[in-house]
Amino acid sequence: MRRMFVLILLVLIGCASYKTYNQTTTGKVILRGGIFQKESWDDTLIFNRMSWYHGMTLYYDALLWKADLDSPFAKWFSPVEKEFFTKCETFLVTAGYSADPAKISHVNFREQMKLNGYDDIVLNNFSSYLKSHPSAQDWRLQNYKIMGYCKRSPTRLESSNIGINFPGFGFLELDFF
């Protein structure tokens, strides 16, 4: 009888400690090296990561890279994609993952980016190179939607931070400029 009581008590304690609330986290995702045609390099591509969880379930994951034409990874952009650089004050590449679009979707993220002053751009060429990177499988990037976001000049907003606010979650702000 005592063993049964201890077992029930352990199960209750375990259930009580399970996180069932909404939470956000930030971090970094680093991809090392790259290849374009016959050229290879050892530089790193560093994405800032923003994640939204309900308990231990990932609802949405966003990776953001402030694109730079001087980076060797800029070779992955097509000429048309590079053309957007000249029209943007800031150009971001994002990789977004939505586990359940009914909860948080790519459309929700795009709307939040618009509130930050960014317009979305399709990056087919860059996306195919990024998803072919050897580390892409480690991060399951084949399940991510790759997009570009352009903040036009002159900026309408004073802040250089990215602030995202999904219903039911705390405001998440990222400063990587």
Q: pLDDT per residue over 155-175, tens digit each? A: 555 567 889 999 989 888 887
**Per-residue model confidence (pLDDT) at position 3:** 74
Band the pLDDT of 137: cuts 50, 70, 90. confident
Cβ atoms within 10 Å, residue 158: 5
Cβ atoms within 10 Å, residue 19: 11
pTM (2 d.p.): 0.83
From CA 147, how far away is CA 133, in angstroms rounded? 16
Cβ atoms within 10 Å, residue 149: 25
Cβ atoms within 10 Å, residue 52: 26
Nearest CA to 118 among 144, 141, 81, 147? 147
CA dihedral 131, 136, 137, 142 (to 10 degrees): -40
Q: What is the mean pLDDT of residues 120-135?
A: 93
**Per-residue model confidence (pLDDT) at position 47:** 95
Task: Give the model confidence (pLDDT) of 77-117 as tens digits.
Answer: 999 999 988 889 899 999 999 999 999 999 999 999 999 99
Task: Examine residue 72 and say whether the peptide bond preceding it is cis (omega within 30 degrees of 0).
Answer: no
Number of H helices, E strands in the chain: 4, 8
**Per-residue model confidence (pLDDT) at position 51:** 95
From CA 48, how far away is CA 96, in angstroms rounded? 12
